[in-house]
Structure 1
Amino acid sequence: MNAGTPGILLVLDGWGHAGPSEANALTAAATPYLDGLLADCPAVLAEASGTAVGLLPGTVGNSEIGHMVIGAGRPVPYDSVLVQEEISSGRMRSNATLVEVLNRLSAAGGTLHLVGLCSDGMIHADVQHLRELLRIAARFSVPAVRVHAITDGRDVADHTAAAYLGLVEGFVAEAGVGQVATVVGRGYALDKSGDLELTEKVSLALVDGKGEAIGEPQEALELTRRGDEWVPPCVVTGADGRPLGPVRDGDAVLFTNFRSDRIQQLADDLYRRLAGRGVTFLSLAQYDTEAAIPPLVHRSDAGGGLAAELAAHGVRSVRIAEAEKFEHVTYYLNGRDAAVVPVEEHVRVTGDVAPDYTARPEMNLDRVTEAVVSAAGRDDVPLVVANLANIDVVGHTGHFDATRRAAEHTDRAVEAVCHAARATGRWVLLVGDHGNAEKMLTDASAGARPYGGHTTNPVPAVLVPAPGQQVAAPAGPATLADIAPSVLALLGLAPAPRMTGRPLW
């Protein structure tokens, strides 16, 4: 191997590729520096969705799997795939953990509470999984099932919650068991910022039946002016005016999201509130909660990747990101391993004010850039890893102009990082983790509406060589699994034995 050269791995979150269109906020943005890099530097389009990264065919990419595969150097079977395999094979119906709980509820007359995001965005949940769980509950004659529906508007187009609630009500009718007991937007239920006031409102609806009283689930959608994401906690009442679904002693709560990060704050809060009341907790897939919640499906091993190789060779790295993406450049990039690594330094960038992504699409990009430039100036740090979150986080708002401006801020940040890299003799490898901002409208055939979700588009991977560094143009096709081997090769290290990706440069 060559001695290698120090560098910077820069993940541009949500930086997907598509041709110019009225839906593409990236091509509408003035990004002269990024445009120049794409034109002049060795670049390739990398697949970041579907089976290329370990997802079901045709499934959009996401930040969690994107960073895991970037770090693992191989596709990692995602939790959604593992859950679907259990359902499709019929094994879920005989899952020992689930069967034990359902038999107990059937014998004791308890209630099964299903809590999760009701959409098919395939990033945090799939509403079809709820359908199968209702069917299984009916097979075991569970006397009562309550669905606590979380509306989306982020992973899927806004103002589609009515259709998804209708789908859930259809599943309930088909199974012959269940009722929708609460409805709440994901802005409350899936907060991951640590705003426990939002979480508390959801918990009070589920535990005490406190919230906006409604007679039918669809009525909840009339109570929001901020779209599906911010439907206030609503409690469905029966003919007697009493809430249908508070969790009672001896009941069971099953969280139906397959992704952990956004539901675990609610899961931990409910667990604490219901402690000592004989309530059983389960999760569809494995969660990273403080509480020990048994999963129905365990996750794949994503270790043995970039982080392990850097540690084995004593290569120091600095990981930098805003709070929204901090876990992605640390925990997920490290193969979902939270262990403290002596050769890693973590820089979590936070702001002084609460985020308003449409009003401040620059977020805290100046602080992230400053931290990257500072780390790049250190001789003891061969690798700097950073996530620029703006394109994705602002893109999720569905606000085209704000996302365009986020891309322009990102362009200036990339320019500053590349100038610092040149001054310190470093290469810069830029890569998207999934598509987003290149599609800000739904398909015209369905009636074009603002869209803030992810896409199946490929992402650019661009190498800005260090001064004097000679590299060949990469040969396609490429996937995110090729990024870790490329980083190691540029550092003068061989790919890890478990990596199936290949160095692009």
Structure 2
Amino acid sequence: MSAVRPGILLVLDGWGHAEPGEGNALAAADTPCLDRLLATPAAVLAEASGSAVGLLPGTVGNSEIGHIVIGAGRPVPYDSVLVEERINDGTLRSHETLGAALTGLAATGGSLHLIGLASDGMIHANVHHLRELLRIAALFAVPEVRIHAITDGRDVADGTAAHHLATVEGYAAEAGVGSIATVIGRGYALDKSGDLELTERAARAITDGAGHPVGKPEEALATSGRGDEWVEPGVVTGGDGQPLGPVRDGDVVLFTNFRSDRIQQLADRLYGELAGRGVTFLSLAQYDTEAPIPALVHRADAGGGLADRLAECGVRSVRIAEAEKFEHVTYYLNGRKADPAPLEEHIRISADAPPDYRTAPEMSIGRVTEAVGSAARRDDVPLVVANLANIDVVGHTGDHAATVRAAEHTDRAVEALCRVAGETGRWVLLVGDHGNAEKMLTDAGEGRRPYGGHTTNPVPAVLVPAQGRQAVRPTGTATLADIAPSVLSLLGLGPAPAMTGRALW
């Protein structure tokens, strides 16, 4: 233990790189500390999207896969890639569990309910997966398919929901089966804050048809004063004025998001009410729900990474983040393992900011900084890992000015933590997990629109060496897979056998 060289790993969520220009909130912000660090020889740009991290080529990065790869030390095939493979090789059509459920519907006259995000952001879902699911439903002669479309405005440009709803309707017409039964903003259906009242409103629309009645799906979009994310639960009615798609006894519910974290609150809520009524539940990819929902596509193994290596070497670590990103520095960084590894401490900072982070772009960064500093001053903690969430969380609002302020709060936190590191003899490694705030305008529809989604841009990675040490400039192409080997090397430990990344410093 005496040979371990202590340090701090800081993940700056949404910290991407792009040349200064219109819409680049990071370049517009006053960030003297980060600017100074990025000008040092120890700074490098790392690939954080596409095949470099286990995504489809050209796919934007995201927090989940970013932290998985940071922790695994290798690219990990993402759930979206695995779903695409099952679609392309035809094995989804021959899936035994799915086939049995759809055969039952064909025999009983029941309905298949497809619930998921209707956008092509590739962060939580891909609307194009609906095309194959509708084709499969038609193949099995399912009499009714009800689509419960969740509008986005976060992973894709706000104001594009009408386009994506039209895409869904086009797929249904092509397959000859399916209709949109509800339209619900992701602020309600994909709540992650634990606000069960929001989830309840989404659930009531799906289960009972209780919501704002509309004759056509696109009419629901007019109910939101805050963009696509906050479209109030809308219920499409038929010619008789009755809701088209409440879930009935014996129906089948299939969640189409390939990412678990934001849909699982709704999934557990619906399961709790409907499973006892003979409703069958399935998910396109594997979820972390409390409810036992069978997955059509299972995950790739992400173990054997940083957490396992630290445990093997008997190295204590402390993981710190706000609620928005807490599971990223724990569950995802640890290879999607639910329980803390040995000698691992978790500190979750409860958020004080309201859901609209435009009014409080500082979030709880002061308390995160204080917690990181306290852990760094402990002699028994060789590694402190923290996520500074502001740039990404505020960036998702699409509010350029608020995101500029979020970056400035982040800069001051980094400066404070670098001082603590200097006082305690620690190195600091900063890295982004994906791009976001460096691109806050996009061309979508007519003219340029505010953009709060992720990007394919590389992310900065920079080492602040401990006092008395120097860091050489890394050579070659860097990716997020290089972060875990770098952390282990900085600690004075060797990499885990499963890691394919390399130590950059």
Cα 1:470–1:352, aligned 2, differ >3 Å: closer, same or farther?
Answer: closer
- C-alpha distance in 1, partners of 2:18/2:290? 40
1:268 and 2:268 aligned: yes
Which residue of 1 is the match for residue 301 of structure 2? 301
How far residue 222 of structure 1 moved from its aligned partner, in angstroms, is: 1.1
- C-alpha distance in 2, partners of 1:492/1:185? 48
How far residue 41 of structure 1 moved from its aligned partner, in angstroms, is: 4.6
1:410 and 2:413 aligned: no
Query: Which residue identity is paired with 1:176?
Result: G
- C-alpha distance in 2, partners of 1:128/1:114? 13
- C-alpha distance in 2, partners of 1:259/1:504? 30
Query: Which residue identity is paired with 2:481?
Result: A
Structure 1 counterpart SS, 2:222: helix
For the Cα contact (< 8 Å) 2:60–2:122, is it kept in 1?
A: yes
For the Cα contact (< 8 Å) 1:418–1:428, is it kept in 2?
A: yes
Q: After superposition, what is the alpha-carbon deviation per residue over 1:249-279, rounded to whole angstroms, capped at 9, x for unaligned? A: 0000000000000000000000001131100
- C-alpha distance in 2, partners of 1:164/1:341? 42
How far residue 37 of structure 1 moved from its aligned partner, in angstroms, is: 0.7
1:426 and 2:426 aligned: yes
Which residue of 1 is the match for residue 365 of structure 2? 365
Q: After superposition, what is the alpha-carbon deviation per residue over 1:416-462, rounded to whole angstroms, capped at 9, x for unaligned? A: 00000000000000000000000000038962110000000000000
For the Cα contact (< 8 Å) 2:353–2:360, is it kept in 1?
A: no
- C-alpha distance in 2, partners of 1:224/1:420? 45
Query: Which residue identity is paired with 2:190?
Result: L
1:124 and 2:134 aligned: no
Which residue of 2 is the match for residue 238 of structure 1? 238
Which residue of 2 is the match for residue 191 of structure 1? 191
- C-alpha distance in 2, partners of 1:436/1:351? 21
- C-alpha distance in 2, partners of 1:79/1:64? 11
Q: After superposition, what is the alpha-carbon deviation per residue over 1:234-253, rounded to whole angstroms, capped at 9, x for unaligned? A: 11010011110000000000
Q: For structure 2, which runs of at least 5 residues remain unmatched after alignment?
A: none
- C-alpha distance in 2, partners of 1:92/1:444? 32
Query: Which residue identity is paired with 2:368?
Result: V
How far residue 347 of structure 1 moved from its aligned partner, in angstroms, is: 0.5
How far residue 341 of structure 1 moved from its aligned partner, in angstroms, is: 2.1
- C-alpha distance in 1, partners of 2:463/2:210? 54
Structure 2 counterpart SS, 1:91: coil
Write the mapping of 1:466-481 to structure 2, written as runs, cut at 5 A.
466-481=466-481
1:226 and 2:219 aligned: no
- C-alpha distance in 2, partners of 1:339/1:359? 35
Larger deviation: 461-470 or 344-353? 344-353
- C-alpha distance in 2, partners of 1:445/1:190? 25
Which residue of 1 is the match for residue 83 of structure 2? 83
Which residue of 2 is the match for residue 454 of structure 1? 454
Structure 2 counterpart SS, 1:71: helix
For the Cα contact (< 8 Å) 1:151–1:161, is it kept in 2?
A: yes
- C-alpha distance in 2, partners of 1:444/1:97? 39
Structure 1 vs Structure 2 CA RMSD: 1.2
How far residue 90 of structure 1 moved from its aligned partner, in angstroms, is: 1.1
For the Cα contact (< 8 Å) 1:355–1:363, is it kept in 2?
A: no
Which residue of 1 is the match for residue 400 of structure 2? 400
Structure 1 counterpart SS, 2:330: helix
Write the mapping of 1:70-219 to structure 2, written as runs, cut at 5 A.
70-219=70-219
Structure 2 counterpart SS, 1:282: strand
- C-alpha distance in 2, partners of 1:499/1:443? 39
- C-alpha distance in 2, partners of 1:300/1:403? 34
- C-alpha distance in 1, partners of 2:275/2:294? 15
- C-alpha distance in 2, partners of 1:335/1:195? 27
Cα 1:294–1:84, aligned 2, differ >3 Å: closer, same or farther?
Answer: same
For the Cα contact (< 8 Å) 2:440–2:452, is it kept in 1?
A: yes
Which residue of 1 is the match for residue 3 of structure 2? 3
Cα 1:267–1:444, aligned 2, differ >3 Å: closer, same or farther?
Answer: closer
Structure 2 counterpart SS, 1:183: strand
Query: Which residue identity is paired with 2:406?
Result: A
Structure 1 counterpart SS, 2:93: helix
How far residue 355 of structure 1 moved from its aligned partner, in angstroms, is: 4.0
Query: Which residue identity is paired with 1:69?
Result: V
- C-alpha distance in 2, partners of 1:352/1:437? 22
- C-alpha distance in 1, partners of 2:474/2:339? 34
Structure 2 counterpart SS, 1:296: strand
Identity across the alignment (%): 76
Structure 1 counterpart SS, 2:461: strand
Which residue of 2 is the match for residue 254 of structure 1? 254
Cα 1:201–1:38, aligned 2, differ >3 Å: closer, same or farther?
Answer: same
Query: Which residue identity is paired with 2:410?
Result: T
Which residue of 2 is the match for residue 318 of structure 1? 318
For the Cα contact (< 8 Å) 1:73–1:500, is it kept in 2?
A: yes
- C-alpha distance in 1, partners of 2:215/2:482? 53
1:30 and 2:30 aligned: yes
Query: Which residue identity is paired with 1:494?
Result: G
- C-alpha distance in 1, partners of 2:350/2:124? 25
For the Cα contact (< 8 Å) 2:157–2:444, is it kept in 1?
A: no
Cα 1:326–1:257, aligned 2, differ >3 Å: closer, same or farther?
Answer: same
How far residue 97 of structure 1 moved from its aligned partner, in angstroms, is: 1.1
Which residue of 2 is the match for residue 333 of structure 1? 333
For the Cα contact (< 8 Å) 2:354–2:360, is it kept in 1?
A: no
- C-alpha distance in 2, partners of 1:197/1:478? 44
For the Cα contact (< 8 Å) 2:64–2:332, is it kept in 1?
A: yes
For the Cα contact (< 8 Å) 2:7–2:426, is it kept in 1?
A: yes
For the Cα contact (< 8 Å) 1:271–1:291, is it kept in 2?
A: yes
Q: For structure 1, which runs of at least 5 residues remain unmatched after alignment?
A: none
- C-alpha distance in 2, partners of 1:355/1:449? 22
Structure 1 counterpart SS, 2:34: helix
User: What's the TM-score once normalised by structure 1's chain length?
Assistant: 0.99
Write the mapping of 1:32-51 to structure 2, written as runs, cut at 5 A.
32-51=32-51
Cα 1:355–1:221, aligned 2, differ >3 Å: closer, same or farther?
Answer: closer
Query: Which residue identity is paired with 2:220?
Result: A
Q: Alignment length, in residue pairs?
A: 505
- C-alpha distance in 1, partners of 2:227/2:301? 37
Structure 2 counterpart SS, 1:113: strand
For the Cα contact (< 8 Å) 1:41–1:463, is it kept in 2?
A: no
For the Cα contact (< 8 Å) 1:8–1:426, is it kept in 2?
A: yes
Cα 1:32–1:445, aligned 2, differ >3 Å: closer, same or farther?
Answer: farther
- C-alpha distance in 2, partners of 1:202/1:55? 30
Which residue of 1 is the match for residue 440 of structure 2? 440
Q: After superposition, what is the alpha-carbon deviation per residue over 1:308-365, rounded to whole angstroms, capped at 9, x for unaligned? A: 0000111000000000000000000000001232301101001345343111100000
Cα 1:140–1:444, aligned 2, differ >3 Å: closer, same or farther?
Answer: closer
Q: After superposition, what is the alpha-carbon deviation per residue over 1:258-302, rounded to whole angstroms, capped at 9, x for unaligned? A: 000000000000000113110000000000000000000000000
- C-alpha distance in 1, partners of 2:324/2:8? 20
